[in-house]
Structure 1
């Protein structure tokens, strides 16, 4: 194995750069492989175009005639770009995307053909996709259905059609369907609240910008590490003398080979309509980041999955490997996917953007306070939404936010909320002057960057948006975004009802709004935290505040099935109890499989590579000790080293054996939740660090 690694290192050092020409003006190729509204406008009759646009903007259904027209236009456009096949591109509960390619060519007519029925719906084999017990293995039927709100695109020689994926009996088997429902719920709830301020608001769209962190290493070095290949992370390793402690990699000059790779994948992404905007070195060696501009949340999540796939494929031609695992290397920064979320009205107002108008700032405060309240009430559910085996290795270490959910808003906004809470017994006069008397006059002074940045906060307000920093780098962002939009929709619904109750009592509308907000500020105060989320003091303080600290995923997943969560998802028609229970079965099973794989690769490397190498070294020392003795030279230090190595070898062999036996016991457990907890506590918790240290 050591020889393999030396050869890999030699190959990596001798790589020649894959030179990439200057991409040129982005305006000349951005979205060239996308079949979106601009392309439809040029190829569809005005009536059909209007119907499709209405479907995208307002969620109306596409009739069969319009579907046929879109299919015909998409086929012609795609074939002109070299496409020979089409596929329904969907996101099953595997954590990856899926696709089944069908040819445009009709062997009966000898012509290319693509009907609206094939565009709107297909039937992929659903038997091998995770269903959590909803479907038996022999019950294979499942359906994909076109999502017009996310544009089609040509990828290679295939027209890709973004779709949802549901079972034969109608349950969602993907990440997109629940997100679409959650976005619809927050649209409805937010619009009602906005109309308390402005009747012109008829729609509210969730907007998202996803910062994607990633590591890049040479392909040969990756292939020389079975743990990286099998588990996505190094289960063994030794901290280098020089890691990230000098912070000299962060925002530094981008290495030429990586720079070529970045230019290459960015051009491919831009052609697919992914608006990548920012690139830079991250903190850890070989770690980098790419970030797009904000998009509609559904499109943004689709684009993130497509971007990760594009990055991986382009890396191949540069003899590189991209790592998205949340913690590929112990002791270095992990990989996050920072989700920057906001709500935008159809009138162009960012509801999280402070203004110099008192009236507009009351609107800002309304959504600001309700979001904080939602996070406080459903903190455990939000924690569950970012739980995974990979993220368990990351959360709470090396600049990753802790598992304790909290909200950072900055000292200025903290002061504003405190002032508003305190002045509850101030006599209030009607009219605009009431804002002054309530201390809201401080709000108009807020500028865009009204807060500092707190890298230790899992959920931070950053000026005109909330940044959900705890999402794992390898995870589909649709899951946490489904939860976030669902809980905010529920909180806004409750707020609207509370304000209406106050108004029915005769309270003036604006006073009723302020009264309810003040109540929410007081009730959710515990979730606001401005300090160091890494500190031990915060763990103690969070406990005093009654905040949960759920450190492992198997137990975190329970929050999906508590009474409050079931009510939220059911009330807003996002996921049924059956679907939630099934998804938790999938989550627990996935956790089991990933820890099991890590355990197996750890045992294999230790027994078949580490121990033989250690014994070979030990035998050399034994010969050395004997030679020293024959020469009459003291050999005590060598004998001590032999003993230390022997002790470590014994530890490795014993603990690996015990771990394997423990796996055999745990594998007999039938309940997935109990089995996942056992893998967490009795395999990962009991053996991983002990074996790693001995190695």
Structure 2
């Protein structure tokens, strides 16, 4: 592409556009407002709104929307046109500062966890000037927060912005202790790697489970899966490559830094990785990325599946959250430098992360808890549900030397020897990587690997920002009052490592031995969403988030209700879909095949009494037994769904779905999948795994 520089960000009202379109004084006032967090004067907002409107109209736009992120996990928008009547039967195109900074969507129809009753409809959206406006599908989209009439946050952006302010405040306190007065702002950055599946749309349209649930509820394993490991990083097929090219262009128009794309482990699975950016922008960009992945797929006769486990028997999809913390002067505070043992500032920030992850394992685990993600965690394809940290040999040895007050024998760089002299010489890293760790240090950032592929990255990063800010505050409180800073710092580092080193594990997180070892260390193992979510409203965690003004207690309890209800609703939808598929499609198809087998046996006997019918007799007997069992189990599942309505408390209801409903769903699936492998292809009502995974 010859004009990539012109394409990139062409649909974004970014800093370069604002410099061009706004009067210099207005531009400076807007930038000052963003930098200081002060409200924008309405007169300034009017000028910005008019310039934004003119820019959008130049690109053929007629409508605008406040683009926000309610608790549904996806984005929301209500479109309004720029037209305004003139009184003479004509219209002009107008967009005021008031329309830019505030909107009023209906708040009662979004998840609120009891914060809003149906008759209490008023809600507000408010412009987030730290996130650029953009054009999508011919509409000017203005990123906003979303709150209720009472001011409670009903979205994911508001608490994320609060968490960023909190970690900025506490990190600056630490930097001042080291004599750093130049830094004015500290930001966290994120680069979320996005895994996904692509399937043929014609096949997708024949699967009710994919349409209603995003995953296959039935499906026998294909003869070939991922066991040959030939798909990972393999040659990208032409149809997929065309999709990726189209997707890149759409993302680049929106200023999204799509960088890396490749085949993932499972057949039909792929990954897109962006360059990191500020956490707020990264969260917005990832929501747009997921939306565009689906839209672009339809242009190519494909469907993009973002469910964590669309297919049993092959790897599911995650979203690796690469988190770091940096200054406005360009310094990465998690960069150990050449001599981490002699870098006390780095060691202090590292110890803050270690303590935060140990103290708030529960919050990190529940921040990724969904019905879909429960299929992955602990299944030897993703990290276990046990939170731990990987630091690698070098950093672990550095910390051991700090803890034990011993000299550190610095590792020297070693040149790689591969036995081919013509190849360029390069040095290998001083430590390996660990792909089984939930929270791994990867050079100058932490890779939080537990996120599910469909999850908004806002939630986990709210937690990361807040828990680390909380520990930084504790450190600052202690060190600011110390008589001797160096001695206090030395003692603080040693004490932190001694009290929290249990969270560090550099071994195989998939091994059964680690589960036993983690239990001995006292680490939590919250295997499912209903087991994890109650920790959100524990006294410790309510105190944490209310102390830092990330959530009010009411906001936390409402989110707990929403997350629990979402889990139950998802399992309920899947169970209802299962019942529908069995009764309307699978059993009728299987009995039709049984009838053909019976008719064939009768025809053979009529043709000649000497003909044997053992094949038909055995298979009819087997299929009939499976149909009977499947029908009984499906009826049992149907009955459980009626009983589920009796559970009015959200936690009890979710546990019932997990322990009772989901358990029977697994049995229904087992019977149906056995029916599939014994039923002639022309009778089976759905495309098989062989077709779905290998057709693109």
Q: In 2 relative to 1, CA 521–485 (structure 1 residues): closer, same or farther, beyond 3 Å?
A: same
Tell me if 1:499 matches 2:475: no
Contact 1:451 1:462 in 2 (8 A): no
For 1:574 and 1:332, locate their aligned partners in 2 and report how far apart those are by CA, in whole Å: 38
Tell me if 1:591 matches 2:567: yes
Helix, strand or coil: the match of 2:343? helix
Q: In 2 relative to 1, CA 450–577 (structure 1 residues): closer, same or farther, beyond 3 Å?
A: farther
Residues 585-612 of structure 1: CA deviation (Å, up to 9, x unaligned): 1111111111001101111111111111
Post-superposition shift, 1:368? Answer: 1.1
**Counterpart position of 2:497:** 521
**What are the residue-to-residue correspondences of 1:208-227 with 2, within 5 Å?**
208-227=190-209
Query: Which 10-residue stretch deviates more, 395-404 or 539-548?
Result: 395-404
Query: Which 10-residue stretch deviates more, 513-522 or 481-490?
Result: 513-522
Tell me if 1:59 matches 2:27: no
Residues 24-77 of structure 1: CA deviation (Å, up to 9, x unaligned): 342121101100111111111222111211233332221111111110110111
Contact 2:186 2:328 in 1 (8 A): yes
**What are the residue-to-residue correspondences of 1:138-153 with 2, within 5 Å?**
138-153=119-134
**Normalized against structure 1, the TM-score is what?**
0.91
Post-superposition shift, 1:349? Answer: 0.9
**Counterpart position of 1:549:** 525
Post-superposition shift, 1:467? Answer: 0.4
Q: Of the candidates 146, 162, 180, which is equivalent to residue 143 of structure 2?
A: 162
Contact 1:416 1:439 in 2 (8 A): no
**Counterpart position of 2:485:** 509
Helix, strand or coil: the match of 2:177? coil
For 2:638 and 2:308, locate their aligned partners in 1 and report how far apart those are by CA, in whole Å: 25
Contact 1:326 1:394 in 2 (8 A): yes
Contact 1:191 1:204 in 2 (8 A): yes
Q: Of the candidates 113, 117, 122, which is equivalent to residue 98 of structure 2?
A: 117
**What are the residue-to-residue correspondences of 1:369-384 with 2, within 5 Å?**
369-384=351-366
**What are the residue-to-residue correspondences of 1:265-280 with 2, within 5 Å?**
265-280=247-262
Q: Of the candidates 462, 483, 495, which is equivalent to residue 442 of structure 2?
A: 462
Tell me if 1:647 matches 2:625: yes
For 1:361 and 1:633, locate their aligned partners in 2 and report how far apart those are by CA, in whole Å: 86
Tell me if 1:683 matches 2:679: no
For 2:201 and 2:457, locate their aligned partners in 1 and report how far apart those are by CA, in whole Å: 27
For 1:638 and 1:357, locate their aligned partners in 2 and report how far apart those are by CA, in whole Å: 75
Tell me if 1:34 matches 2:20: no
**Counterpart position of 1:439:** 407
| Root mean square deviation of aligned Cα | 1.8
For 2:183 and 2:528, locate their aligned partners in 1 and report how far apart those are by CA, in whole Å: 42
Helix, strand or coil: the match of 1:201? coil
Tell me if 1:482 matches 2:462: yes
Post-superposition shift, 1:626? Answer: 4.4
Q: In 2 relative to 1, CA 650–626 (structure 1 residues): closer, same or farther, beyond 3 Å?
A: same
Q: Of the candidates 134, 154, 162, which is equivalent to residue 181 of structure 1?
A: 162
Q: Of the candidates 281, 306, 320, which is equivalent to residue 324 of structure 1?
A: 306
For 2:361 and 2:236, locate their aligned partners in 1 and report how far apart those are by CA, in whole Å: 38
Post-superposition shift, 1:619? Answer: 2.1
**Counterpart position of 1:16:** none
Contact 1:206 1:342 in 2 (8 A): yes
* Structure 1 residue runs of 4 or more that deviate by more than 6 Å after TM superposition: 443-448
Q: Of the candidates 56, 66, 75, which is equivalent to residue 97 of structure 1?
A: 75
Where structure 2 has 5 or more consecutive residues not aligned to the other structure, the ranges are 415-426, 673-696
**What are the residue-to-residue correspondences of 1:620-659 with 2, within 5 Å?**
620-626=596-602, 631-659=609-637
For 1:74 and 1:244, locate their aligned partners in 2 and report how far apart those are by CA, in whole Å: 49
**Counterpart position of 1:433:** none
Helix, strand or coil: the match of 1:395? coil
Residues 339-386 of structure 1: CA deviation (Å, up to 9, x unaligned): 100000122110111113568721111111210110110001110000
Post-superposition shift, 1:442? Answer: 3.4
Helix, strand or coil: the match of 1:42? helix
Contact 2:153 2:555 in 1 (8 A): yes
Helix, strand or coil: the match of 1:135? coil
Q: Of the candidates 161, 168, 176, which is equivalent to residue 195 of structure 1?
A: 176
**Counterpart position of 2:542:** 566
Tell me if 1:694 matches 2:694: no
Q: Of the candidates 212, 220, 226, which is equivalent to residue 230 of structure 1?
A: 212
Post-superposition shift, 1:498? Answer: 2.5
Residues 313-334 of structure 1: CA deviation (Å, up to 9, x unaligned): 1111111110110000011111
Query: Which 10-residue stretch deviates more, 35-44 or 94-103?
Result: 35-44
Post-superposition shift, 1:512? Answer: 1.4
Contact 2:341 2:398 in 1 (8 A): no
Post-superposition shift, 1:476? Answer: 0.6
Q: Of the candidates 372, 378, 381, which is equivalent to residue 396 of structure 1?
A: 378
For 1:402 and 1:183, locate their aligned partners in 2 and report how far apart those are by CA, in whole Å: 28
**Counterpart position of 1:11:** none
For 2:331 and 2:636, locate their aligned partners in 1 and report how far apart those are by CA, in whole Å: 60
Q: Of the candidates 607, 619, 623, which is equivalent to residue 583 of structure 2?
A: 607
For 1:285 and 1:440, locate their aligned partners in 2 and report how far apart those are by CA, in whole Å: 46
**Normalized against structure 2, the TM-score is what?**
0.91
Contact 1:383 1:405 in 2 (8 A): yes
For 1:273 and 1:360, locate their aligned partners in 2 and report how far apart those are by CA, in whole Å: 39
For 2:274 and 2:323, locate their aligned partners in 1 and report how far apart those are by CA, in whole Å: 13
Post-superposition shift, 1:398? Answer: 4.6
Query: Which 10-residue stretch deviates more, 485-494 or 636-645?
Result: 636-645
For 1:377 and 1:151, locate their aligned partners in 2 and report how far apart those are by CA, in whole Å: 35
For 1:202 and 1:661, locate their aligned partners in 2 and report how far apart those are by CA, in whole Å: 61
Residues 122-161 of structure 1: CA deviation (Å, up to 9, x unaligned): 1011121011001101110000000000000111221100
Post-superposition shift, 1:633? Answer: 4.8
**Counterpart position of 1:8:** none
Contact 1:448 1:464 in 2 (8 A): no
Q: In 2 relative to 1, CA 247–444 (structure 1 residues): closer, same or farther, beyond 3 Å?
A: closer
Give the length in aligned residue pairs.
654
For 2:600 and 2:343, locate their aligned partners in 1 and report how far apart those are by CA, in whole Å: 78
Contact 2:61 2:140 in 1 (8 A): yes
For 1:49 and 1:43, locate their aligned partners in 2 and report how far apart those are by CA, in whole Å: 9
For 2:436 and 2:33, locate their aligned partners in 1 and report how far apart those are by CA, in whole Å: 41
Post-superposition shift, 1:441? Answer: 6.8
For 1:358 and 1:282, locate their aligned partners in 2 and report how far apart those are by CA, in whole Å: 34
For 2:429 and 2:294, locate their aligned partners in 1 and report how far apart those are by CA, in whole Å: 35
Tell me if 1:674 matches 2:652: yes
For 2:446 and 2:107, locate their aligned partners in 1 and report how far apart those are by CA, in whole Å: 37
